[in-house]
Structure 1
Amino acid sequence: MMAGFSGPRIRRTALLLAGAMLAGTAMAQGAPDADQTPGKKLDVPQNVTIFGKTDPNVYKPTAIVNGEIITSTDVDQRLALVLLANQGRATAEETDRLRLQVLRNLIDETLQIQEAKAAEVAVASEEVDQRYTMVAQNFRRTPKEMSEYLRTQGSSDRSIKRQIEGELAWQRVLGRKITPFVNVAQEEVQSIIDRLNASKGTKEYRIGEIYLSGTPETMQETLQNAQRIMEQLQKGGSFAAYARQFSEASTAAVGGDLGWIRAGQLPAQLAEAAQTMQVGQLAGPIPVPGGISILVMIDERQVLTADPRDAVLSLKQLAITFPKGMTQAQASPLVARFAEETRKITGCGGAKAVADKVGAEIVDNDQVRVRDLPPQLQDILLKLQVGQTTQPFGSLEDGVRALVLCGRDDPESANGPSFDAIMAQLEDERVNRRARRYLRDLRRDAVIEYQ
């Protein structure tokens, strides 16, 4: 399956939890590798007797990977990031399962970093620090403040920096050993452009995916893991955070985002699910060739057709905040007065006077896409005329806001993906296949001791 062409590329480094915890494009891994040689099936009898009491699937929380130690602290600090993204909603049993998965992820990460060192691929500490600073900025913190915050949550800046290093190192190894040997013919790209033009007006979807691989022998365990992840997502867990930690697709680095994709580009099982999903809805676990997928519908639109939600708005925001400890009853008269005064705004020129009158902060933004706003506000703003104001919205904790529509640039037409974008996506698809095989080989050859 090929992902949408507007999504990020495999060679682009993502930042751990940066977007996922502030809110919530490669293949969906639907097909096995084309040049993979089938191996012999295991000769396992139907009725077996287990000798001894040790459960081989229950590992202790540390490991030595080719002589490099993964400590219990490493596991606990990375686990804390997952639990933080999940707002702490995990039972003791689920936490134990997550700990085992985190250990597996750390083993893969260690193998990737080791392979980079063996290939003499370097990642400078200054570059890791720069990426970490960007993570902190996404949380509106300085790096020092971010490090202190992580410590209060049972994690550390070292854990995030380690993951950043692993992502950068692995991408550079792929860039040296795989990417230069992947070729896409111009005829293939043109064929896709022709199909897109023929599909104008049909629906396409922006989908997030968590993909877990499995063999016939391990598929039942893979399904159980997917079911546990689905349960946590249904309880409010961050899809992007779970994708970063557990998905085995290259899109894990971007929170599982496949980009824009049409149903015909998906495996049949995923296409069927996508066509029945609403924006924000989860689906899964869904068996696909080679594993299990969990989907979330991020957005939908029509192929090569202008969408009103692609309009760019010029907005003024008026906002009032409440002192800590103020009750709902105490805040209600202030909200009522704010609502009454903002209703009197008849144009953006009068917004400042109203803001001064009610003690509101006013902020301008001239480049707001309707699509990027919460769904509830999208419908409201699309119905407003220039100069009109939304009704107040917000909460006691976050404050109350109103938006004044100062201008709107409607989309004239919808542009399809460029030739270069399609070429890049096809290359990424093939790099992704080979990268999965590469990591499987590293696991197979590794000496791993569980402590």
Structure 2
Amino acid sequence: MKPGKQHFLKCTVAALLAILISPDFARAQSVQRIAAIVNDELITAYDLESRMKLVILSTRLPNTVEVRRRISSQVLRTLIDERLQMQEAKRRNISVSKRDLRRAKVTIEKQNKLPEDGLERMLRQNDVPLSAMEEQLSAGIAWSKLVGRRLRPRITIGEDEIDEALQRISSRQGQTEYRLAEILLAVDGPEEEDNVRRTAERIRNQVQNGANFAEIAESTESPFAPFFVSTPRVFSPFVFP
């Protein structure tokens, strides 16, 4: 081999080695690791990491290694469910428009008393990719459209039912309302009771400190977490102390 070619190959090998051992390359490889495959669609480690950041921010959980370890499996299951929902919506020609997403963001901003575009600024400030939130919103919107399309033709509400509901609402004006919900913590054996009790205490403290109950439910190991919904409001006579 000619000296010129040998020198070129040495330089090329040296450059490749420099790339392979660089922090940026290692980080890129970590980001592209496959966390799950859902009908030929990949969920990467980056997708999982991004969603965990979003969950931690929205629930006000401490951003620690232990918290990430605890919520990672549930967050991954949620991502898988959402990917399946999006695939089914696509199969039925249901799409989510930019207008749908914008409307959902505005709703979140109003609920959290944020200024216009304050949600995106908050995500950037906390190093949460905007795509993580948009993917979550898209899955929820698409699934709602799909469920609505399939159930709406089967639902018939009579005028008498509407009148009764309006009368019931009117008669309860001024009464205290409560919104009830639950988080299920399974105890698979006596040896787990102490750990589950500590988890329950931690969740109670987080809720008392203002954490979002629904988001905490989604981050627990509850089998019902992916399907958590707010319960109907209950008026004071029906609430036990």
Q: Identify whether the pair has TM-score above 0.5, normalized to the shorter chain.
A: yes
- Which residue among 97, 114, 118 is the counterpart of 2:70? 97
Q: Name the CA distance, whole Å, in 2 between partners of 1:193 and 1:147.
A: 38
Q: In the TM superposition, what is the alpha-carbon distance from 1:117 to its structure 2 partner?
A: 0.7
Residues 86 and 143, structure 2, Cα contact 8 Å, conserved in 1: yes
Tell me the TM-score normalized by structure 2: 0.61
Matched, 1:275 2:234: no
Gaps of 5+ in 1: 1-59, 265-273, 277-451
Matched, 1:209 2:181: yes
Q: Name the CA distance, whole Å, in 2 between partners of 1:128 and 1:244.
A: 24
Q: Name the CA distance, whole Å, in 1 between partners of 2:91 and 2:45.
A: 26
Kindly provide the CA deviation profile for residues 276-327 of structure 1, in whole angstroms up to 9, marking residues without a partner as x. 0xxxxxxxxxxxxxxxxxxxxxxxxxxxxxxxxxxxxxxxxxxxxxxxxxxx
Q: In the TM superposition, what is the alpha-carbon distance from 1:90 to its structure 2 partner?
A: 5.6
Matched, 1:234 2:201: no
Kindly provide the CA deviation profile for residues 43-72 of structure 1, in whole angstroms up to 9, marking residues without a partner as x. xxxxxxxxxxxxxxxxx9811111211111
Greater helix proportion: 2
Q: Name the CA distance, whole Å, in 1 between partners of 2:228 and 2:214.
A: 14
Kindly provide the CA deviation profile for residues 60-101 of structure 1, in whole angstroms up to 9, marking residues without a partner as x. 981111121111111211211222234342653333121211
Kindly provide the CA deviation profile for residues 143-164 of structure 1, in whole angstroms up to 9, marking residues without a partner as x. 6xx5454234231111111111
Gaps of 5+ in 2: 1-32, 220-224
Residues 122 and 169, structure 1, Cα contact 8 Å, conserved in 2: yes
Q: Name the CA distance, whole Å, in 2 between partners of 1:61 and 1:263.
A: 52
Q: Name the CA distance, whole Å, in 1 between partners of 2:45 and 2:197.
A: 24
Residues 214 and 228, structure 2, Cα contact 8 Å, conserved in 1: no
Residue identity over aligned pairs, in percent, reads 23
Kindly provide the CA deviation profile for residues 389-418 of structure 1, in whole angstroms up to 9, marking residues without a partner as x. xxxxxxxxxxxxxxxxxxxxxxxxxxxxxx
Matched residue, 1:139: 114
- Which residue among 153, 156, 167 is the counterpart of 1:180? 153
Q: In the TM superposition, what is the alpha-carbon distance from 1:119 to its structure 2 partner?
A: 1.0
Q: Against the structure 1 CA distance between its residues 92 and 119, is the aligned structure 2 distance closer, same or farther, given a 3 Å change threshold? A: same
Matched residue, 1:79: 52
Q: SS at the partner of 1:64?
A: strand
Aligned AA (1:205): E
- Which residue among 76, 86, 89 is the counterpart of 1:116? 89
Residues 210 and 243, structure 1, Cα contact 8 Å, conserved in 2: no
Q: SS at the partner of 1:121?
A: coil
Aligned AA (1:207): R
Q: Name the CA distance, whole Å, in 2 between partners of 1:194 and 1:85.
A: 37
Matched residue, 2:43: 70
Greater strand proportion: 1
Matched residue, 1:162: 135
Map residues 370-389 of structure 1 onto 2, 5 A cutoff: none
- Root-mean-square deviation (CA, aligned residues, Å) is 4.0
Matched residue, 1:220: 187
